[in-house]
Structure 1
Amino acid sequence: MQIPKVNQTPKVIQTPKYKKILLTGVNGQVGHALQLALANQSGLFAELVCLDRSQLDLSNPQAIRDVVQAIQPDLIINPAAYTAVDKAESEPDLAYAINATAPGVLAEEAAKLGAKFIHFSTDYVYAGNKIGVYVEDDATAPLSIYGKSKLAGEEAVRAVGLPSLIFRTSWVYGAYGKNFLHTILRLAKEREQLRIVADQIGAPTSSHSIAQAVVEVLARWDGEHSGVYHLVNAGRTTWHGFATAIVDAYAQLQPARDWPMLKAKVANIGPITTADYPTPAARPANSCLDCTKLSSDFSVQLPDWRDALMAELEALPTN
């Protein structure tokens, strides 16, 4: 009996773009979101190594060198940072060790391996006194230890000269971690009235939006572009506007999600000035960042901050 021939299409085996990615700070907001986003992009890499603070001590340069050389990644993504903005005023050495020295060491070790490097920075590198949005080439003039340490980290990475991307973002929050979203929801459950700063403007940027944008960039980045990029959700508001949007969106979702009721209503959230709420660290009054360069070089655009907020709220636990 003759066995009929079957036409078969040869299987195409796709080689992952990255053999091994090292991701730091996985217990932080952005690191956690990146870990989840990358887990759904297994075709992009062969191995993903995720480290938290206990596994990678960014205050210890030699420990950083030892870990990177042991793992041998061809891409390092570093969202880990010292983010206690006010506490940094009294802990400058630790802030600089983690935000300035560590990124430089990571970049040096990446360069030794011929690896690429992605790092995250902040709107706090600007003074916030510009009229209009900030572009990447605008003069930096940080007002706080946190901002100064993050700028020093940018400079340390650029000094190494390897293929690298530095993403400046702003007002980061998410369903995971401690942030403004959770603070407002906690206070709105405890109090009937809230008073929130209304003379600082910026773009609330969700950790999920950041992670999705970085994944898109990774798929398109071949090392031809290096440098600083602004990466924030579209649109702008004040902290007061952000707080009222949180309470309003929560109230819309609450009946279907069976969340606890809020005591505070939008009408009971009062605007105050920065002077009314003094803090150890000064904040930029204008944190609006222009993302045209990101869109032009990588065809990546983040959603409006209101849409991103709704997505983060929908990701909250139902209890």
Structure 2
Amino acid sequence: MQQTRFYPIGTPGTPWGEAERADWRARQVRQRSHADDVVARVDALRARFDVETYGTLSADGRTYPLLAIRSRDWNPDLPVGVVSGGVHGYETSGVVGAFEFVERSAEAYAGRINLLVVPCVSPWGYEHIQRWNFDAIDPNRSFRAGSPAQESAALVALLAPLRGQVLVHVDLHETTDTDESEFRPAKAARDGEAFEPGGIPDGFYLVDDSVQPQPAFQQAIIAAVEQVTHIAPADANGEMIGSPVVGHGVIEYPVEALGLCAGITGARYVTTTEVYPDSPRTSPEECNAAQVASVVAALDYALAHR
């Protein structure tokens, strides 16, 4: 398809070099505070949970602590549940939903599963409401050994000792209208490719692992979220974002091969949530509640089907 939209950085058909990346960075504006919204909220949980600083992100002359929340009285005989949010910093309900789960529901799992929650994987992206990191790299294609993304490399290192112990991993995301208006055109320009317009699913959906799919697990989450917000339908081709719909509200990716966050734990049960916050049929509160419902349903199913 002929390119229908010219992104204002670079030359169509030519991948970006450092000059174009610098131009892109110069256009990014800090719009919110990781210290106020994330660090302070983590600090408020220190009386109830263990908190670990698993790394420091350096970007644009700033440093950001990378923070993980752990169950108190961690028991090595129990399985592990991992919740990650804010891999894409602009996806707000992933961050807020992770916090709301910890604040309201996490302690109910004491003695049954060890929980490790990383509420904001990408602090610079959070502050700048960006999908990419400071180096114009998508962290959620970069979760592998030797990753060029600081955020991804740090999380891989944090979780590496737990590989083989993780029963369930829920990675909290959103699909927004800006995916189509900004982030996909930017990716096409960065990579020297033609931008091909697509669509945004209206509603919540999940991404399963195509290598080891768990359809009953995914449907248990869908059933819980359906009590909170609407589930995205397939398009006229039976797809969502170009992938076949394999079950109600579910598509599949080979998560580890693609370097996605959900692929780094080796868990039996993995899912990536996708909330649609721009729908006129939902609200920010409903989106946050959908993320919490996803985590609770995922943990409950995994513990019942160990």
Question: TM over 0.5, yes or no?
Answer: no
* TM-score between both structures, scaled by the size of structure 2: 0.35
TM-score (norm 1): 0.34
Which one scores higher on RCO, CA 8 angstroms, separation ≥ 6? 2
Higher helix share: 1
- Select the structure of larger CA radius of gyration: 1
